[in-house]
Structure 1
């Protein structure tokens, strides 16, 4: 049974358990809910949750464990001489999975029967032609060992899927039956249901924490492997970024860090004044009708995908800057300072536009949090509206505004698509904003793109770059949250 329909069936069983459990509890009390220990809905929820939660947990664990177990078993069937030189077993296993999926599609569409799959000979049969008919492309002829492994993979997957369906349904029905038997008027259903809900809330909170810990640990282990192959002094204190996959790479983070901070600085120069002025206008001067229209319209910018901003930088802002700074006598300014559309200024301007709603929304909330009594006191002493904003509201909101700027800076430092398409790919030190540069996030993408060997320092350096970027943005976020929290405590 497909996983989707299995989940639907589990939900149906849980819904039936809710109705029947509630009905049984009321029947045990003679139809008088006042004789029940808990409300009738708690009895129904107890049966529904008892049927749904254990079965869903088993389903998730099974779906995670089954592919790993099957791949470990099937990979042992592949001879060592079948693995190409300078390649990994995972490449062969990807062919095995592709052939297995193609066989499934061929059976579903009638191109092959289940019996023909078991008896198919890759040396005499046209497997590529058959799989091509069902839309599965193979790059080379399928060797007999790969076909045998694909058959085993397909058989184990089907067996595991059947066993999963039976086990999950039995678990759901078992939980349903046990909880249904307990649905009596003296059963403390509310206590049990509230404990289960509390456990689910704790699990949800723990998943977020454990995911973060897992990401950090994975980066730490791979970074440790990188520093076992490459000098940490060259990484942190070198001045050249030149990966070449020949063993003599120079992998220094400093040119990448310079490009990252330079582009982020230009983005903040654009976003902070515009966003702050917009927040001041919306919170202090705009009427209710203007605010109701302008604030959502401004925040639409936050919903635009970053790839769209990247295209805007590459196709609009970059050529516009070239028109001004890069066409010599044919340009508007008659200078030749810019050689292409990609530059620090291109990426910084577009990233600043992207950050405007971020700064504006946070600053608007912070300014509105300043007590009205401070404004009234200033106006009562004879200050004008603008003097009140400059000398009372902004100083009071300054810690929160600084926190908003730091959060925007961490957002700018971690941006990828805009700098990939608008900043270029050259790692160097330069103060000229019209030159192409690159950032940490861009290099992470490039180092992990394509068929690369994950045991080489040129690939593992991406994890060291990611960990450094994580520490940098984490520090900015912690500092921003500390400032905002201190501000909020002052006025609560």
Structure 2
């Protein structure tokens, strides 16, 4: 239903734009007046009044409709029941009613579920009908208001710019609040985790096996349970595995990406650049799961065969395979951004260097590279963040075991992989195992923040300034 309403809203918006644009021309020609803004501003004015109020109706209705329907159904269940029903039981019954009404219920159907499904369908039908009616009434009323304002030759430009300013401001606030919400959600669950697990055991422990931590009451532990809990959440192997695979990836991505960016910006002809840059950027558009399949089915077995031929024991899921393929995936991030940054260096700097007798390579090393250093560091930082946050490749090619090693031929794992594995399936969010995923996420967030700070300090210290 919402998709149809959004489509209708888009059609009404486009129609209103052209209607408002043509209407102001007729008004000014008829009254021999001069419009107070360009005609397209009146089109935007009409379209915004047509679209925004109706869109708010859809958004508000979508948010509150499930909550209201759930409360109505649960109240009816409580009234019709002879005994008091807990909230957990109400949630289960409500989910069964929803599943049955949608035709997805496979359990035993009771009369209560059938009656609840009928009630739910009736309430949903009433709600959808009211939403559609209010939607079209809002469009008509807002369009008529905008139409009357255009007939008065209103200052359409001011209204449009104020509306767009408010939209931009709300978008910024939404982005900031989302970031704050993510931080506090991670922080809250992490604090809950550290009330059960000693932070020193987490940050400095050498064993990671959260599947052993099935302990219901952490305040009353037997000695063996306390030992298992202490040894279950040592995250050092995860930190080391993440840094190790990211390091291998950067050893591949940074030299190749940076050199290709320098070549495309300084040495390649226009024809080579025209074809070379899009081909390199295609690598960024390949889904990461495809890279994961390539690493697991081709690169990993290839290294194992090569190792067997020379007498080395190579795991099918190795850090080398995952890091190498991840580095290939990250090449476009370094190459494309470095190319753009180098091209942004003023041509006058090159000409001045050539006038002093410097060669092209000397100009690149002594003039262009220092001038482009902030952007190059930024591209490398983006690549590092991409490597640290990658999941699919290491899940499929590096393995799931937390192995503390610096041997690239052995299997290891990363923080993001363990977060995925912990949160797969139904989870109890009060258990230490599930909350450890949030602790890992917050740790990764802090590490990335520290990395950004170090990069900014390096850029500030070594940046060249030109008048």
- The alignment's TM-score, normalised by the length of structure 1, stands at 0.82
1:61 Cα shift?
1.3
Match of 1:146?
A: 113
Q: 1:179 aligns with which of 146, 149, 171?
A: 146
Partners of 2:17 and 2:267 in 1: how far apart? 54
RMSD: 2.8
Match of 1:158?
A: 125
2:371–2:463 CA contact under 8 A, matched in 1: no
Q: 1:430 aligns with which of 398, 405, 412?
A: 405
Superposition pairs of residues 46-445 of structure 1, within 5 angstroms: 46-75=45-74, 77=77, 92-102=93-103, 136=104, 138-243=105-210, 244-247=212-215, 248-249=228-229, 250-325=232-307, 331-335=308-312, 337-338=313-314, 340-445=315-420
1:410–1:477 CA contact under 8 A, matched in 2: no
Partners of 1:47 and 1:403 in 2: how far apart? 43
Partners of 1:277 and 1:251 in 2: how far apart? 41
2:261–2:336 CA contact under 8 A, matched in 1: yes
Partners of 1:89 and 1:470 in 2: how far apart? 37
Q: Secondary structure at the match of 1:490?
A: coil
Relative to 1, partners in 2 of residues 1:392 and 1:25: Cα closer, same or farther, differing over 3 Å? closer
Partners of 2:365 and 2:17 in 1: how far apart? 60
Structure 2 unpaired stretches of 5+: 216-227
Partners of 2:379 and 2:32 in 1: how far apart? 53
Relative to 1, partners in 2 of residues 1:191 and 1:482: Cα closer, same or farther, differing over 3 Å? farther
1:45-64 CA distance string (max 9 Å, x none): 33332222111111111112
Match of 2:221?
A: none
1:75-128 CA distance string (max 9 Å, x none): 4537799999xx8865554433221112xxxxxxxxxxxxxxxxxxxxxxxxxx
- The alignment's TM-score, normalised by the length of structure 2, stands at 0.87
Partners of 1:33 and 1:4 in 2: how far apart? 43
1:404–1:480 CA contact under 8 A, matched in 2: no
Partners of 1:71 and 1:473 in 2: how far apart? 41
Partners of 1:28 and 1:376 in 2: how far apart? 58
1:21 Cα shift?
4.5
Total equivalences in the alignment: 448
Mean Cα displacement is larger for which, 214-223 or 456-465?
214-223
Relative to 1, partners in 2 of residues 1:482 and 1:139: Cα closer, same or farther, differing over 3 Å? farther
2:24–2:153 CA contact under 8 A, matched in 1: no
Q: Secondary structure at the match of 2:48?
A: helix
1:478 Cα shift?
5.0
1:357 Cα shift?
1.3
Relative to 1, partners in 2 of residues 1:477 and 1:148: Cα closer, same or farther, differing over 3 Å? farther
Partners of 2:84 and 2:433 in 1: how far apart? 27
Q: Secondary structure at the match of 1:183?
A: helix
2:249–2:326 CA contact under 8 A, matched in 1: yes
2:253–2:327 CA contact under 8 A, matched in 1: yes
